[in-house]
């Protein structure tokens, strides 16, 4: 789960990372009022969970409250990479002498948290990483000890932090690291971390990405979720206890078990189709969860056929079959459905499905081929637009 900049800064502030004051606003008038309270030049910043807001025109300086109001009016409602700006951060503006990049990332390949730093921070950091990888420092941290003093010194020297700011830099790195560990983050970065002409070190932008699997340990962080920016189907799925990821294909998949769901997607591709989603209804799914899964799948207008693949273990095949038949009566849209149920109570399931005249299949290859064929004929039957 990605946190908005203002949320990320809220967390970092608790760990002593040096920041300038700021307030959120959702209207131009609120932005003006915030600028009046800040009483000085401000920066008006779109709060959207996509990178490159600066380049897209979503970060603007304003010398006066009237200017802040005008800039806010321009940014609210702006479309940045497909996301509409609804919230702004109005923060005291800093003068910048030098921009650095500082980040921590959980690198699964090296099984370590890696500290990344660059003296070429700011909006071109991705470009720098590509063209001058030698300008990026990357230090794996000890998996048990974590951040050590020599790691901090190494970063400080690599970035050529001015001598009188090394202590402030150490505080910042330690604060970022503690925030990262305590919140079970996958990523925490400050870009830019700046030095001002009068010699202050400040974090001007922050981004924290949390490990979704650790969120149950952090109800306070979970509450920072921005539903506005999530795929609505994924929000619904989470509420129903279903793992769901939207994809771009035409074949909706409803499967129990993550591994089986992956296999099902592979076989859809092998049969020449494209899955519309990953969906795991989980173990022991009952009729209501099956119905919720169908609604979520069919909300996607690209879905032209549904492939149901259930391996009955704890999940009983006849329960799922009943769920499918019941759910079908409540669905708003009719699409061909291919159902394969094996395992516990498969025979009972087959009877229920046959009585309801659903397309069934005994092997997964057969099921995938039938679903792909059904989607193709549904697509070719559609009037060309």
Residues with a catalytic annotation lie at 101, 189
Shortest spacing between CB 193 and ligand GDP, in angstroms = 10
Shortest spacing between CB 191 and Mn ion, in angstroms = 4
Using CB distances below 5 to 8 A depending on partner kind, what does residue 122 bind out of Mn ion, ligand GDP, none? ligand GDP
Shortest spacing between CB 82 and ligand GDP, in angstroms = 15
Kindly list the residues in this chain that would bind Mn ion in the complex (CB under 5 A). Answer: 191, 205
Question: CA 111, CA 97: separation in Å to the nearest integer?
Answer: 36
Kindly list the residues in this chain that would bind ligand GDP in the complex (CB under 6 A). Answer: 43, 45, 51-54, 59, 61, 93-96, 99, 122-123, 191-192, 204-205
With vertex at residue 294, the alpha carbon angle to CA 2 and CA 257, rounded to the nearest 5 degrees, is 65
Considering the complex, state which of residue 101 and residue 244 has its C-beta at the smaller distance from Mn ion.
101
Nearest-10 Cα torsion for 17, 225, 257, 287: 160
Considering the complex, state which of residue 203 and residue 293 has its C-beta at the smaller distance from ligand GDP.
203
Residue pair 185/100 in contact (Cβ under 8 Å)? The answer is: no
Residue pair 254/338 in contact (Cβ under 8 Å)? The answer is: no
Shortest spacing between CB 201 and Mn ion, in angstroms = 16
Q: Which residue is nearest to ligand GDP (CB)?
A: 54
Nearest to 297 by CA among 276, 280, 328: 276
Extract the tokens encoding 271: 């049969």
Nearest to 367 by CA among 246, 252, 278: 252
Considering the complex, state which of residue 59 and residue 327 has its C-beta at the smaller distance from Mn ion.
59
Considering the complex, state which of residue 47 and residue 256 has its C-beta at the smaller distance from ligand GDP.
47
Shortest spacing between CB 109 and ligand GDP, in angstroms = 25
Considering the complex, state which of residue 190 and residue 242 has its C-beta at the smaller distance from ligand GDP.
190
């Amino acid at each position: 789960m990605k946190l908005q900049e203002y949320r990320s800064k809220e967390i970092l502030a608790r760990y002593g990372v040096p920041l300038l004051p700021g307030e959120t606003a959702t209207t131009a008038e609120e932005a003006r009022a915030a600028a009046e309270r800040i009483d000085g030049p401000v920066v008006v910043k779109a709060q959207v969970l996509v990178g490159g807001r600066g380049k897209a025109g979503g970060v603007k300086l304003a010398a006066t409250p009237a200017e802040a109001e005008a800039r806010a009016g321009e940014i609210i409602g702006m479309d940045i990479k497909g996301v509409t700006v609804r919230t702004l951060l109005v923060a005291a503006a800093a003068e910048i002498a030098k921009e650095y990049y500082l980040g921590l990332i959980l690198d699964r390949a090296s099984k370590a948290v890696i500290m990344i730093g660059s003296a070429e921070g700011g909006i071109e950091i991705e470009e720098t990483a590509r063209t001058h990888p030698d300008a990026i420092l990357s230090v794996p941290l000890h998996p048990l000890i974590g951040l050590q003093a020599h790691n901090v010194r190494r970063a400080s020297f690599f970035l050529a932090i001015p001598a009188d700011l090394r202590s402030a830099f150490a505080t910042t790195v330690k604060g970022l690291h503690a925030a990262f560990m305590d919140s079970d983050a996958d990523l925490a970065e400050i870009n830019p971390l700046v030095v001002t002409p009068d010699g202050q070190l400040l974090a001007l932008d922050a981004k924290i990405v949390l490990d979704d699997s650790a969120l149950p340990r952090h109800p306070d962080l979970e509450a920072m979720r921005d539903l506005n920016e999530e795929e609505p189907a994924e929000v619904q799925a989470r509420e129903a206890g279903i793992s769901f990821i939207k994809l771009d294909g035409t074949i909706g998949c409803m499967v129990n078990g993550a591994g089986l769901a992956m296999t099902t997607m592979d076989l859809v591709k092998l049969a020449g189709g494209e899955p519309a989603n990953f969906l795991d209804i989980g173990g022991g799914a009952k009729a209501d969860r099956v119905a919720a899964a169908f609604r979520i799948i069919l909300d996607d207008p690209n879905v032209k056929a549904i492939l149901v693949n259930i391996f009955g273990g704890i999940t009983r095949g006849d329960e799922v079959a009943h769920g499918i038949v019941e759910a079908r009566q409540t669905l708003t849209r009719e699409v061909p459905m291919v159902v394969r149920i094996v395992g516990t109570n498969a025979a009972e399931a087959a009877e229920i499905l046959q009585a309801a005249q659903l397309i069934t299949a005994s092997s997964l290859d057969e099921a995938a081929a039938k679903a792909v064929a059904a989607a193709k004929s549904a697509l070719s039957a559609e009037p060309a637009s």
